Amino acid sequence: MQRKKYGRIIIGTLCFAALLAGCSQKKKSGETSGQDYNKFLPMINITESEEGVYYVQQVQDDINDYMVLKYADKNSAKETVLCQKVNCKHNSEECQAVVGETSYMGFMTCMDGRLYYMVSKSGEDDVGLYLYSVNKDGTDKKQVHKFEGRRTPPNAASMYRGKLFLSIPTIVEFEDGSGSESSFPVLVMYDLLTDEETEILEDRDSIYTVPCGGSGDSIYFLEMDYGGDNWLKYRQYDFHTKEIRDVFDGEVEDGQFVLDDTIFLQSDEKDKVETYNLKTKKREEILTCDEKYDFIYFKIGWIELVRRTKDGDRNKDFYKYYDIAEKQYLFDDFEPDTEVFVRLRFDDGRYWVEKDDQSYFYDLKDKSWTEVEEIK
Assess if residue 29 is contained within a domain: no
Rounded mean pLDDT of the chain? Answer: 85
Assess if residue 83 is contained within a domain: yes
Q: Which of 331, 206, 325 is nearest to 264 (CA)?
A: 325
Tell me: do 52 and 114 sit in the same domain. yes
Answer yes or no: are the C-beta atoms of 107 and 44 closer than 8 Å. yes
Tell me: do 320 and 368 sit in the same domain. yes
Residue 347 or 22, more confident: 347
Q: What is the pLDDT of residue 305?
A: 94
Task: Compute the distance between CA of residue 150 and CA of residue 157 in angstroms, rounded to an integer.
Answer: 14
User: Cα 175 to chain center, whole Å?
Assistant: 35
Tell me: do 250 and 114 sit in the same domain. no
pLDDT in tens, 248-300: 998 888 889 999 999 999 988 888 999 999 999 999 999 998 888 999 999 99
The verdict on pTM exceeding 0.95 is no
Tell me: do 101 and 248 sit in the same domain. no
The residue range of the domain holding 206 is 161-259
pLDDT in tens, 155-198: 999 999 999 999 998 866 655 555 555 578 899 999 999 999 99
Which of 135, 153, 171 finishes a domain? 153
Q: For the residues 297-307, what does the mean pLDDT come to? A: 94
- Neighbouring-strand partners of residue 233: 223, 249
Which of 153, 177, 199 finishes a domain? 153
Tell me: do 119 and 140 sit in the same domain. yes
Assess if residue 31 is contained within a domain: no
pLDDT in tens, 63-109: 778 899 999 999 999 999 999 888 898 888 889 899 988 789 999 99
What is the domain count for the chain?
Answer: 3
Task: Compute the distance between CA of residue 53 and CA of residue 58 in angstroms, rounded to an integer.
Answer: 16
Which of 197, 224, 259 finishes a domain? 259
